[in-house]
Amino acid sequence: MLPFRKLLTLVLLVSQAWAIPSGAAERYDFKEYKVKEALLRPPVGWTLVGEAPPDHTISLRVGLPQSNFEALEQHLFEVSDPDHSRYGQHLSKEEVEELVAPPPESLKMVNAWLKAHGFKEIELDRSPAKDWVSIKVPVKIAEQMLRTKYHIWKHEESGDKLVRTTSYSLPEELHDHIEVIQPTTMFSRFNAMKSTIHWPEAEKKASITYKPPTTASNARLAAVDPSCSSEITISCLHQLYNTGGYVQKATEKNSIGITGYLEQFANFADLKLFYEEQVPEAVNSTFEVVTVSGGLNPQAPEEAGFEANLDVQFAFGLTHPVPGTYWTTGGRPPFKPDLTTPENTNEPYADWVDFVLKQKTVPYVISTSYGEPEQTVPEAYARRVCNSFAQLSARGVSLIFASGDGGVGDGWDDPERHRCRTNDGRNITRFLPTFPTTCPYVTSVGGTTGVPEISVFFSGGGFSDYWPRPAYQDRHIKEWFKTIPTDLYKDLYNPAGRGFPDVAAQGTNFRVYVGGVAFPIGGTSASSPAFAAVVALLNDARLAKGRRPLGFLNPVLYAKGYAGLNDITGGHPNPGCGTSGFNSTVGWDPITGLGTPDFVKLKEILT
């Protein structure tokens, strides 16, 4: 058998030999159109306003098949499996792109279809692997291309308006060559794709009975500063997660990144105040700001973002002097009737990941503290975005996502909210898993509180309706199912789905500077960058030994890394959708995952 690298090189050469030049599209007479995707009815909470203006411009994203994604997935799991001979041998940017490149026939057919509608190559924006192509078109042209009718839809609760359709069609011969086109049937609320930030006063509304941990705290936890029970600082996290005293040795090789959306701006003056108080040796340091899709980062005090400041202050403060990157991705404004320039009409994770996949060098660990109900993103589109995350993971990037702040639903404080209803036409009560933390190629982080740590009531957790349970977590989740009644919440969730979160970290009362003032804020928005920072420190230990960074974490965490995590066995359940939610128990559970990090133990296991 050929060695992997030689075999992959052979595959690349063959695929390049069969590549179709972008200008070589053949002419086809596309006649028979067939419905590609349709909704039975508009999602709950949306009403029809009227027809979309024909000259309103949208940016269509066309997803072509990824011919060898199964092979990419296999490579990803092999290089992430601590017991595999290829562990840590991550793929290069070029190797990943070749594996997800569309079949030549798909390129040819889609090129011909676009050419038939008058598009020239210079008007097409292609991904490096050519598995995505974007085109800016007025509504009237999009309607011709997709044999559909776009309308303006209004969200009853917020008043936001979107231009969408409930179905679209493609020539029948193109159905096997185009997996998805958006924006079409995606009714995600642009402004509602909120940060998972959680304010401390919300805890006063919770009527959840406290349940103490079932295991006694050890001597190290007993020595944690008592103030950490009411306010989390950098010092508290060092004490809780056993990172204090670690001296980094490979900072020039290491890296960490934070994503930002929805006009969340990271303020340098606030960071300096934070450093002066909590990390004085970092006072004169900074981080790189990278803009995506027109993102901004103004520095006026009144424009400082709670979420952005929380993320950068704790992620970069815990890992100083590791080089930090903050991406600011342009927002997605609601429909404006007088707007003819293209709006950022797609779900923004795709914009960010498209940009990052084009970069030769990417930070080794990246934290994202944003999410939305899985069902608001059409499954075909969510899968393509998740596949893009798999591409980054295969390149050796640890992608860390907050599990959400809605418990098992989308709002623990109001069980009657319609967001706990399915939007598939059935309108039945259902737990609402959070995307993109449900993607099986990322690491999901739930929330804890207190010292010793217990689960926090708002921590998002449950099971995906889109992705089946991956093999790496099968054993742990089967053990958890043995601890609950077989009919618990029957039909409210998918017991065969990908379970989340994978791990957890502190999620309440982080002391953050915003606009020159210190605020106690939290949520799994805080848990994600805190856990990501510990991963960055583990990467430093590996890099110092000449090893590769950890990359995709889940296989190694579920295989043996769990022994380096603090199992959270008590605390608040995570209620939602009219239920009390799930409990934290011994082993994995759908509120704190496998537990919180112990850096010293993890370093021993993983480096």
- Catalytic positions, written as ranges: 307, 311, 525
Rounded to whole angstroms, how far apart are CA atoms 389 and 383? 10
Q: How many other CB atoms sit within 10 Å of the CB of residue 213? A: 17
Query: Contact at 8 Å (CB) between 45 and 132?
Result: no
CA distance between the termini of the chain:
30
Q: Which residues contact 359 (CB under 8 A, 6 or more apart)?
A: none
122 belongs to an annotated ligand binding site: no
568 belongs to an annotated ligand binding site: yes
Strand ranges (E), 267-330 = 288-292, 324-329
Rounded to whole angstroms, how far apart are CA atoms 248 and 537? 7
Task: Give 174's DSSP letter.
Answer: G
34 sits in which H/E element: strand 33-38
Q: Which residues contact 52 (CB under 8 A, 6 or more apart)?
A: 139, 150, 151, 152, 163
Query: Contact at 8 Å (CB) between 577 and 408?
Result: yes
Quick check: helix, strand or coil at residue 137?
Answer: strand
Angle between helices 348-357 and 379-394 (to 10 degrees): 30
- β-sheet bridge partners, residue 61: 134, 182
502 belongs to an annotated ligand binding site: no
Q: How many other CB atoms sit within 10 Å of the CB of residue 187? A: 21
94 sits in which H/E element: helix 93-100
- DSSP conformation letters of 194-247: -B--B-GGGGGG--PPP---SS---HHHHTS-GGGGT-B-HHHHHHHTT-TTPP
* Cα→Cα distances 156→35, 41, 48, 162, 410, Å: 28, 16, 10, 12, 17
Quick check: helix, strand or coil at residue 21?
Answer: coil
The closest of 386, 389, 472 to 81, measured between CA atoms, is 472
587 belongs to an annotated ligand binding site: yes
* Torsion sign (Cα): 142, 148, 152, 157: negative
Q: Could you tell me which residues are annotated as the binding site for Ca(2+)?
A: 567-568, 587, 589
